[in-house]
Amino acid sequence: MTIDMKVKKIKNGTVIDHITAGQALNVLKILGITKEYPKTTVTVAMNVPSGKLGFKDIVKVEGRELEAEELDKISLIAPDATINIIRDYEVVEKKTVSLPEILEGVLECDNPNCITHFEAAKSQFIVEEKNPIKLRCVYCERSMDEEGVVKQF
């Protein structure tokens, strides 16, 4: 990495880079990293100057690789994020997150009268805008913005 992060490299785990500035704490929520989280070292850098994005956040999580659903959720609030899997201090894999055109099952519709809350139906949203996120429920046609999305993490 070219960025001078004044923290030591991690041995095994994940570096989530190019997070939209200001979203690092939401990324931690998605990963379920709270006070109660087992003793894992987590490093957060916020508002790091970045050529591509202006400013960005970075999250390093020791001893953990991310699941597909976590990547989907990260893509909702940080569409440019890159994921580096680290093993033995080396980057063994680099991934970008990608927001699908149709998002299925990951989130719930925030309209309480939406039929998806009453019948055996998987939620489905059309991704109308990516940054900032704007979703529209395929069923009730209500739209959901970043606030509605973040609430669910």
Site residues (vs Zn ion, CB under 5 A): 109, 111, 114, 137, 139-140
- Least distance in angstroms from the C-beta of 114 to Zn ion: 3
Residue 117 is encoded by which pair of tokens? 């809350």
Strand partners, 143: 136
If one asks whether residue 137 binds other proteins (CB under 8 A), the answer comes out as yes
Question: In b/e form, how buried is each residue of 75-103, taking b as 16+ CB within 10 angstroms?
Answer: bbbbbbbbbbbbeeeeeeeeeebebeeeb
Q: CA torsion sign, 135 to 140 to 141 to 146?
A: negative
If one asks whether residue 102 binds other proteins (CB under 8 A), the answer comes out as no
Radius of gyration of the chain (CA): 17
If one asks whether residue 101 binds other proteins (CB under 8 A), the answer comes out as no
- Least distance in angstroms from the C-beta of 111 to other proteins: 6
- Least distance in angstroms from the C-beta of 137 to Zn ion: 3
Report whether 92 contacts 85 (CB < 8 A): yes
Stretch that binds other proteins, among 6-14, 53-61, 90-98, 134-142 (CB under 8 A): 134-142
**Contact with other proteins (CB under 8 A) among 44, 45, 99, 140:** 140
Q: What residues make contact with other proteins under the rule CB under 8 A?
A: 109, 111, 113-116, 118-121, 137-143
